[in-house]
Amino acid sequence: MKQLTTLACAALITLSACTPKQKENTEIPAPPVEGNWELVEELSDEFNNGFDDSKWSKSLWNYGEPVYMVAENSGVSDGKLWIKATLRNDSVRWFQTSRIMSKEKISYPLYMECSMIANNVSSFNTFWLNNGDSYNRDEIDMCESNAKPSLDSMAHYAHTLNSQYFIVRDSITVRKHGNFDNNLLSENNPMRGKRWSEQYHTVGIHWIDERNIQFYLNGEKAGSVVTEKDFTKKLHVIWDVWTSYDWWTGGIAAKEDLQNGSINTMYVDWVRTYKPVVE
């Protein structure tokens, strides 16, 4: 692991605009959290060298209709991880998409962040942690962003960082949201008020301990949650894209948007994970 000390974090806001060549020559900054940190190589990637199958896999279990997961709708190229939503020739499961998941798992304390830009389709573009199933799991959603909600009543989603946690034991769920409106970023933050598909945003999490989580957005504190139960599992890192008929996702995707290659893809520029240095 690479050891890092706390640095000024204004650079975090601009790093996401780097080209792949620039990323190779850029020193990895420390996270915007006090203390000494070291990079966790197994859960960090600048995506400059293609799909690293020692770190990532394509986990293709399906969500509800109309989602259909396939391996060919995700990958790494040109210095970016990408997940594409396309139209499948099926009347029921017509939203063809994919998922990328880490092979390693991790637990608190940690700081993790990625630079990502959403597609411009009514869908959730996600960055999250999970281990388990519907009956027993720990889950932390750093980001479920929808840059183009199809429901007028959910137009605010274009600027809302939807963040939350779930702890499920024997089918009993406890959860809480820690959402944040990016219009509330500081006035001098160039990402203030930018839609999720307009620019790369840096989404982060400081998983402090078994009950406390602080979310970050573009180098600033965003929402936070305190859980009702303890987290007890190590979790995988996951990105995926999906849509739903449920109102709380922002509305179902328009099929014509899935046929537009200029707007139907989510990209991740890099992901970096840090653990505190053990003195």
Angle at alpha carbon of residue 35, lines to 130 and 10, rounded to 5°: 85
65 tagged catalytic: no
- All residues at 6 or more sequence positions from 133 whose CB lies less than 8 Å from its CB, including other chains: none
Helix/strand/coil (H/E/C) assignment for every residue in 120-187: CCCCEEEEEEEEECCCCEEEEEEEEECCCCCCHHHHHHHHEEEEEEEEEECCEEEEEECCEEHHHCCC
104 tagged catalytic: no
Question: Which among 236, 274, 270 is positioned nearest to 49, based on CA atoms?
Answer: 270
Residue of 46, 72, 144, 220 marked catalytic: 144
**Partners of 164 in the beta sheet?**
141, 177
Query: What number of CA atoms fall less than 13 Å from residue 233's CA on the CB side?
Result: 18
Residue of 139, 210, 256, 279 marked catalytic: 139
- Evaluate whether 198 touches 188 at the Cβ level (below 8 Å): no
Question: What are the residue numbers of the active site?
Answer: 139, 144
